[in-house]
Chain A
């Protein structure tokens, strides 16, 4: 099995390391970089709990190899709040709308919404809701998350 040196940007800083070919990006981030925000809910690319941004796009990190992150820009949920701990506006909305209970799926949802939030032209509510199809939540019944999308869409206008 091949071993690879990788270097990439993670949450604004350059990181480097060695990885077996078969390591997923999710496992590498969690174990080698201490980024335990992305979670492994299924390891087969359905639940969305592992979602990170790769060069600004929301992707499933369990479906990428760590070696494929070489030279790329990776952002996890740990990058959303400010340095002094102030929540990102979307995080604050989640709190206000009771959009999380156990919190396991939450980092994934936050990254998809963060990607949508930065997209130009800005997606409307329907497009944002459509993107939620790639995430599963078992606790909240999605009610608070849908209210957050309502508010994000409202902000646009």
Chain B
């Protein structure tokens, strides 16, 4: 399994990456962590003529606070993001989600931006971005634009990123420090793609839900938001919630497909239980 020939160029900065990508046209691919792109190249499932390596672009890595939240440079390694104090304190959902991503060896190279840009429907980080209402920063020769994560994913591995745009960072809004975070995943083995996955943030103050953010993974062609359920949750007291009813609503909004590893029936059944139990556990925890 050897890749087809391609040219390789290094981008020492975000601007250089933008320039090189613009030059190369639609036939180029960004090489970030390589954990997804390299297998695709080896299997000859993708055939770019140019690889633009952003690993040397240090200005594309790092965690900082900005006007749109915690800004995580696209090239930030997953293992670094997971351990970063600002991420752990301010965006704990992401830190918890990354712990489920791949393996110790893949997190050493895999990047946050790479996963966000790929839009694997059963991946943790895109779902976290959707759940939290993150914003994706795209840069091209035409300028920089910010796209809400909830508008970014349009199909399996399909995003609204134009061919000449480089995903340079992801901005995760800071939720209130008392926000309850739920990261649940059922996978065949640790590190596998999720059969069913749920990221849920509930900002609960004095037992009242002020804000809710939900992102499913493995449950549709993209990471799936759940606006109906979020609306049903906001303004309610935990004690008056009907976890089973809400779980049914949540599950009914989803149309997961059958694949080699699970059927739609499995996914909906497990998703419903996962949601119900998550709410019950949260309610129990807050009550205690």
Contacts and interface: CB of A to CB of B under 8 A. Distances in A.
| Complex A–B touching at CB under 8 A | yes
Interface of A: 1-2, 4, 20-22, 24, 27, 43-45, 48, 51, 54, 57-60, 62-65, 67-68, 112, 130-131, 133-134
A44 B45 CA distance: 12
A60 B5 contact: no
Given A44-B42, A44-B43, A59 B1 contact: no
B109 A59 contact: yes
B8 A134 contact: no
A21 B38 contact: no
Interface in B100-118: 102-106, 108-109
Interface string B28-71: 00010011001101110000000101010000000000000000
Contacts of A1: 5-7
A21 B106 contact: no
Given A62-B38, A68-B55, A45 B106 contact: yes
B1 A44 contact: yes
Contacts of A133: 103-104, 189-191
A68 B53 contact: yes
A45 B39 contact: yes
Contacts of B79: 57
A58 B104 contact: yes
18 contacts: A2-B7, A2-B9, A21-B51, A22-B2, A22-B6, A24-B38, A24-B42, A27-B2, A43-B1, A44-B38, A45-B106, A51-B105, A57-B108, A59-B105, A130-B104, A133-B104, A133-B190, A134-B104
Given A57-B109, A64-B34, A65-B51, 16 more contacts: A1-B7, A21-B8, A22-B2, A27-B2, A43-B39, A44-B39, A44-B42, A48-B105, A57-B79, A59-B108, A63-B34, A63-B109, A65-B31, A67-B8, A134-B104, A134-B191
Nearest to A58: B105
B55 A112 contact: no
B225 to A, nearest CB: 30
B4 interface: yes
Main secondary structure of the interface of B (DSSP, over half): loop
Contacts of A22: 2-6, 41
B58 to A, nearest CB: 13
Most buried by B among A45, A48, A68: A45
A129 to B, nearest CB: 10
Contact of A112 (B7, B9, B35, B105): B105
Nearest to A116: B104
Contact of B8 (A2, A27, A112): A2
A48 B1 CA distance: 16
B105 A60 contact: yes
B101 to A, nearest CB: 12
A127 to B, nearest CB: 9
A4 B79 CA distance: 29
B30 to A, nearest CB: 14
Nearest to B4: A22
Contacts of A45: 35, 38-39, 106
Closest 7 CB pairs of A and B: A134-B103, A1-B5, A21-B8, A44-B39, A131-B104, A63-B38, A57-B108
Nearest to B3: A22
A21 B5 contact: yes
Interface string B93-131: 000000000111110110000000000000000000000
A134 B6 CA distance: 29
